[in-house]
Amino acid sequence: MTEHPLFYDLAYLKGMGPQRAAWIRDELGLVSFHDFLAFFPSRYLDRSEVYPLQSLDEGPAALQTRGKVIRIEKVGLGKAQRLVATVTDGHGWLELVWFQSLRWVESAVKPGDEYLIFGKVSRYKGQLQMAHPELTLWTEWTKSGGASLSPVYPISEKLKQRGLSNRWWISMVQQTLEQVSGSIAEILPRFILDAEKLPQRSEAMKHAHFPESNEELRTALRRFKLEELFFLQWGVLRIRSLRKIRNPGHRLEKVGDLFHDFYHRCLPFELTDAQKKVLKEIRADLKAGTQMNRLLQGDVGSGKTLVALMSMLLAVDNGFQACMMAPTELLARQHLVSLTQFLGDLPVRIGLLTGQVKGATRRQLLEDLYNGDLQILVGTHALIQEHVRFKNLGLAVIDEQHRFGVEQRAMLWAKSRIPPHVLVMTATPIPRTLAMTRYGDLEVSVMNQLPAGRRAIRTVVTPEAKRLKMFAFLAEQMRAGRQVYVVYPAIRETEDQDIKFLYDGYEAMIRAFPRPEFELAVVHGQMKGADRDLEMQRFVSGKAQLLVATTVIEVGVNVPNATVMVIENAERFGLAQLHQLRGRVGRGSEQSYCLLMHKDRPSEQAKQRLDALASTTDGFLIAEMDLQLRGPGDMAGTQQSGVMELKYADLVHDGETMEKARDYARQIMEADPQATGETMGRLALAYDRFYGKSKNWSKIS
């Protein structure tokens, strides 16, 4: 097969040459003609408007004006010598100044010539002037029809130093367009272009580089954003659709004795409406005959564990095994405890498998698992090791998803000939645009309701100046029998003097809360696992009243007696992370507090963010705010997701376009769920060519 001309190596571009092509490849990762064209300008100089001289004022943006040179003369001596031309249009005046290439300018610019003048206006001794302007004879300008927006490419410094100027780049893009314009085929379905009133791909490509007007540019960019998001969505929806067809699922139709008994006899409280809704969704999935892949997003404390348990009981009622996987040893143990408590005397055999379960206990456990004696297995990553064999795994629950990679999910699948149903749970609410991307291939359930009777946590933004007051408050709470967390952004001293660190804080806390009245515990990420567990256990059991920690306690720790969360240097954390930390308190019946400590003069933006957090406990709202304020780069779950590879669109500003793209993709998918038609074939080809390669992350779920 001959290669598509768009994918020729850049070295074959006329005027490029292998050396420059190599530089560009190394610096910017652009390899083919298409890569080169897909490298859009980062901004455009507005050359559509010619401002009258009279209207000019100094300003940072280069602009165009028009005037006739009436005088040109050398002024100053030696190094200070310069050339000054005076131009006018009969109404306004402007001085043009050159400090270099005087001889050349002198020979080229003559009194009486009329020019289109382009440059930045500044004021010097009260006089408006433009230094080193770009001049085009007015007659030539009008002959050429007048250019408009001129592109500025984000060429790296290194390339510029090697002589690859913006002007050269422009000529290369023109050259590329000339060589391949016939090969830029349309890849979006016709009906989308019509509905959105968008230009063809080849035309839009030209407009994106050399637009004649702002309107043309906007439309071209809109097209590429939609194109990109469309293929992104089409890709994930195709996976979902094909998976449904290809992967049969265990049919779990029965609601049996265990579920009934649990619901009517063991359940210590009424389910929230949100829990009921999600359970209904899960039940529908489980009996559909296709494999479930569902993401359950539920804010901290919304009661996901219970939903997981009841789903697992459904599996057991239908004669299958179930497992629940947590990201840490501690969490796995905690799950085992809460599940066992919930189950009471129900006849369900449940076990724990972690790295610390060893020897004979482990052997027995694995045997019971293999012969089916064990019905529910709780554990860590240890669950997915190869030698762990189930008799018939029907449902796998994964808690706190963002710590698991897709590979691990895939390994779970391999545990059963027919892949098990998968329920992924996360307490990190994710903005919708991100969810559609990162988890676009999953069905999504949302629990945005906390169990009734919870007291809202009181969040107080506290400046450094009130530290002593804070100490007094902690003492008061601990004397009343409550427990307290104090979280630091760093373990050790950093270069940044403003950052409080754990070692220092621990000492201060010991001084402020001495033995024997108070006991302190400490956990951080650099401790050995066993030491950490021990310290954590001292806090969980109530032996220690105050826990000094880093964000290792962020996920899942459940100590209902803890009522105060103090976060040092709160301005250093993302909103979503602060929200997670705050979720560690407010789990019991007592009023809980979250104190956001910050340095005395925080930036306006930092203050705003903390106030925003204090004003709401809605995790979804907070996630949206975090995305707006910090961009997707810092959001949980985006790092390994490939989301950052978006070329044209971005998740913060293009949410609406994303919704649209998803709708179009869905329409197409629904019309041809088997993906066998001609449209699908064409889309698949375009996807592989233009969008598929770097998006491996979406291939397995």
Rounded to whole angstroms, how far apart are CA atoms 423 and 418? Answer: 16
User: Which of these, 444, 433, 406, 7, lies nearest to 229 by C-alpha position?
Assistant: 433
Q: How far is the CB of 271 from ligand ADP (least distance, A)?
A: 5
DSSP class of residue 433 equals: H
Element (DSSP H or E) covering residue 236: helix 214-246
Nearer to ligand ADP, 440 or 556 (CB): 556
Yes or no: say if 152 and 41 are a contact pair by the CB < 8 Å rule. yes
Rounded to whole angstroms, how far apart are CA atoms 553 and 547? Answer: 10
Taking CB positions, which residue lies at the least distance from ligand ADP? Answer: 303
User: Which of these, 375, 336, 330, lies nearest to 355 by C-alpha position?
Assistant: 330
Q: How far is the CB of 300 from ligand ADP (least distance, A)?
A: 4
Nearer to ligand ADP, 301 or 431 (CB): 301
Q: How far is the CB of 265 from ligand ADP (least distance, A)?
A: 16
DSSP class of residue 166 equals: H
Rounded to whole angstroms, how far apart are CA atoms 456 and 445? Answer: 24
And the tokens for 62? 């280069």
Nearer to ligand ADP, 310 or 635 (CB): 310
Nearer to ligand ADP, 452 or 468 (CB): 452
Q: How far is the CB of 542 from ligand ADP (least distance, A)?
A: 16
Nearer to ligand ADP, 60 or 453 (CB): 453
Q: How far is the CB of 371 from ligand ADP (least distance, A)?
A: 31
User: Which of these, 571, 576, 578, lies nearest to 462 by C-alpha position?
Assistant: 571
Nearer to ligand ADP, 319 or 588 (CB): 588
Sign, CA dihedral 659-660-661-662, equals positive
Amino acid in the structure at residue 133: P
Helix count (H) and strand count (E) of the chain?
24, 23
Q: How far is the CB of 451 from ligand ADP (least distance, A)?
A: 3
Q: How far is the CB of 452 from ligand ADP (least distance, A)?
A: 7
Q: How far is the CB of 356 from ligand ADP (least distance, A)?
A: 22
Sign, CA dihedral 187-192-196-197, equals positive
Q: How far is the CB of 272 from ligand ADP (least distance, A)?
A: 5
Residues that bind ligand ADP (CB under 6 A): 269, 271-272, 275, 298, 300-306, 427, 451, 558, 587
Nearer to ligand ADP, 300 or 396 (CB): 300
**181 vs 11, 231, 258, 499, 641, CA distance in Å?**
18, 22, 66, 55, 33
Rounded to whole angstroms, how far apart are CA atoms 294 and 281? Answer: 9
Nearer to ligand ADP, 303 or 655 (CB): 303
User: Which of these, 413, 431, 424, lies nearest to 307 by C-alpha position?
Assistant: 424
Cis peptide before 516, with omega less than 30 degrees from 0? Answer: yes
Nearer to ligand ADP, 526 or 589 (CB): 589
Nearer to ligand ADP, 602 or 637 (CB): 637
Rounded to whole angstroms, how far apart are CA atoms 488 and 505? Answer: 8
Yes or no: say if 117 and 133 are a contact pair by the CB < 8 Å rule. yes
Q: How far is the CB of 38 from ligand ADP (least distance, A)?
A: 42
